[in-house]
Amino acid sequence: MYLTKIYKNSSCIDGEGIFAGEPISKGTIVFYYSSNDVYVSKKEFQSLSNFEKNRIYKLGVEEEDGNWIVTEGDANHSCDANILSLFVDGLYCDIAVKDIQSGEEITIDYGLFYSSFPWEMTCRCHSCNCRGIFGSAIAIDSQTQELWHSRISEAAGRIHHVRQPLFFRDDDSARALTFALRSRHSPRIFPYIKFSLISAYP
């Protein structure tokens, strides 16, 4: 679930994208998985038609146990993304790693996503650090991992200094993530393969 105002519009990166409907400060938790998102079990997914599977490939994210989560919208990939993935006590969220202006496209780096099958895409982000081709079977270079880590670390340091819409959400997932974040007064970020994790200690 997106926690900030968003809208869909045509994208210069690829097809349709997600755009900010309001300014978003760096350090804001932009997205988390809520009970409003659609969960598709591994068994259910395997029984779907190819058409339905392709829709989930486009709009969903695969968990490491093979289940899928289908969200309300799909942010396009950018090698210079303005939101990146973060795990806090095993809970997934996306954090703004840049100040995002109203009307600006919200982008994430697909290289962060887990996948049980090999895939690759040609990048159309046109950023100065564009990797050209990315995918689950393509190794992430150390420069990209260092960029992710430094941006997430800096953004996480601002979590308690910007307004967090997450803290006002009233569902079990939001409350669990809020508790995890509020217990980390000075977050320390540790990279783990492609993921970044907030330290288990306050």
Is position 149 within any domain? yes
- In the chain, the amino acid numbered 38 is V
Is position 42 within any domain? no
What pTM, to 2 d.p., does this model score? 0.84
Q: How confident is the model at residue 202 (pLDDT cuts 50, 70, 90)?
A: very low
- What is the domain-level CATH number for residue 17? 2.170.270.10
pLDDT attached to residue 72: 66
Is position 118 within any domain? yes
Number of folded domains that form the chain: 1
> Does pLDDT of 60 surpass 80?
no
Q: How confident is the model at residue 200 (pLDDT cuts 50, 70, 90)?
A: very low
Is position 196 within any domain? no
Is position 80 within any domain? yes
Is position 177 within any domain? yes
Is position 200 within any domain? no
Compute φ and ψ for 20, nearest 5 degrees: -75, 130
Is position 173 within any domain? yes
Domain interval for residue 107: 6-37+72-187
Q: How confident is the model at residue 138 (pLDDT cuts 50, 70, 90)?
A: confident
Give the residue carrying structure tokens 């689950």: 136
Mean of pLDDT over the chain: 83
